[in-house]
């Protein structure tokens, strides 16, 4: 019998993997280290200090942009997750039919189209809506981020649905449960890890989006990524490192929470 191919057994796999991880994480490590630099340089180490974390905390523009980013990401990820859940149910809990593949492609289209194209399309669309309605609030940014994040939430939810055993849902139907009750008491509890994964992924994608935000936002609606981009065009200080470090810790916290939730779910099942 032929031996199954295992990439980890190939010559040089460990060396290539270590080099890849080193090149991937070295810039991030350097960013975090210089966030604690006491001087104003991001290249010359002048001593350990929390100075730039304090500067970022006392910067009203940073706090305002951070709070705006969190609000937009929270609202957009919730909307995207609800839409993605409904789309995943509609495309997996049905018999195959002509056009289903086309629906898959349309849902995942934002993943394949360059983000700049999506941003320009949203800019043109929302500019007309602004003229018709006179409204220029954060609703446009939330809607734009939600539309862009739907496929990111859809993929883990759909993967979870496809891996679920249908026997429990069929048993609920045999016991005269309505489709809604079967979903609420059987499908939803089993689907919950996929929904949480989709929600967290959509939240992170929305939180660090720059291109779509730059095109859609109105005056005074900077998110933290667009604020940092504007600052980097003027002067680069370790304050940007400090802000990036805080958001890195936030992202790691989200991933850690999801890991423990998933592990607890697997142990309970």
Residue 161's contacts (CB-CB under 8 Å, 6 or more residues apart) are: 88, 89, 92, 93, 191, 194
Contact between 186 and 168 (Cβ < 8 Å):
yes
CA distance 100 to 90: 10
Asked if residue 25 belongs to a domain, the reply is no
DSSP code, position 184: I
Which token pair is 85? 């859940």
Contact between 107 and 147 (Cβ < 8 Å):
no
User: Dihedral of CA 32/36/42/45: which sign?
Assistant: negative
pLDDT at residue 148, as a whole number: 92
pLDDT at residue 265, as a whole number: 57
pLDDT at residue 79, as a whole number: 96
Asked if residue 213 belongs to a domain, the reply is yes
Overall domain count for the chain:
1
List Cα–Cα distances, 106 to 37, 75, 88, 99, 146, in angstroms.
47, 23, 13, 11, 15
| pLDDT averages per 10-residue partition of the chain, 269 residues | 70 87 89 88 84 89 90 94 91 77 82 89 91 88 93 89 80 81 83 87 89 89 88 81 87 76 58
Contact between 216 and 120 (Cβ < 8 Å):
no
pLDDT at residue 252, as a whole number: 83
Asked if residue 38 belongs to a domain, the reply is no
pLDDT at residue 125, as a whole number: 92
Ramachandran angles phi, psi of 37, nearest 5°:
-75, 135
Asked if residue 138 belongs to a domain, the reply is yes
Range of the domain at 72: 60-268
CA distance 235 to 228: 10
Residue 108's contacts (CB-CB under 8 Å, 6 or more residues apart) are: 151, 154, 155
Contact between 201 and 153 (Cβ < 8 Å):
yes
CA distance 266 to 205: 26
Asked if residue 2 belongs to a domain, the reply is no
List the CATH number of the domain containing 67. 1.10.3720.10
Asked if residue 152 belongs to a domain, the reply is yes
Of the candidates 177, 195, 196, which has an alpha carbon nearest to the alpha carbon of residue 186? 177
pTM, entire model:
0.82
> Residue 68 half-sphere exposure, CB side, CA atoms within 13 Å?
22
Q: Is 37 helix (H, G, I), strand (E, B) or coil?
A: strand
Asked if residue 97 belongs to a domain, the reply is yes
């Amino acid at each position: 019998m032929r031996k199954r191919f295992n990439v980890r057994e190939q010559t040089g796999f460990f060396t290539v993997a270590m080099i890849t991880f080193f090149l991937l994480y070295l810039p991030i490590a350097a960013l975090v280290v210089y966030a604690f630099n006491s001087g104003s340089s991001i290249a010359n180490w002048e001593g350990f200090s929390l100075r730039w974390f304090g500067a970022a905390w006392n910067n009203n523009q940073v706090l305002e942009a951070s709070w705006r980013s969190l609000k937009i990401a929270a609202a957009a990820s919730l909307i995207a997750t609800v839409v993605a859940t409904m789309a995943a149910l509609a495309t997996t809990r049905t018999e195959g039919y002509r056009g289903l593949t086309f629906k898959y492609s349309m849902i995942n289209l934002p993943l394949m189209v360059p983000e700049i194209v999506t941003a320009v399309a949203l800019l043109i669309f929302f500019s007309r809506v602004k003229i018709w309605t006179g409204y220029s609030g954060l609703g446009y940014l939330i809607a734009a981020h939600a539309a862009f994040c739907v496929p990111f939430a859809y993929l883990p939810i759909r993967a979870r649905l496809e891996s679920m055993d249908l026997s429990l849902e069929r048993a609920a139907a045999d016991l005269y449960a309505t489709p809604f009750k079967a979903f609420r008491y059987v499908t939803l509890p089993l689907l919950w890890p996929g929904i949480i994964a989709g929600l967290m992924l959509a939240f992170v994608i929305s939180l660090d989006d720059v291109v779509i935000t730059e095109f859609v936002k109105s005056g005074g609606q900077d998110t933290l990524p667009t604020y940092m981009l504007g600052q980097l065009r003027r002067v680069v200080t370790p304050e940007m490192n400090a802000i990036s470090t805080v958001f890195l810790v936030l992202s790691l916290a989200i991933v850690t929470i999801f890991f423990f939730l998933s592990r607890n779910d697997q142990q309970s099942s």
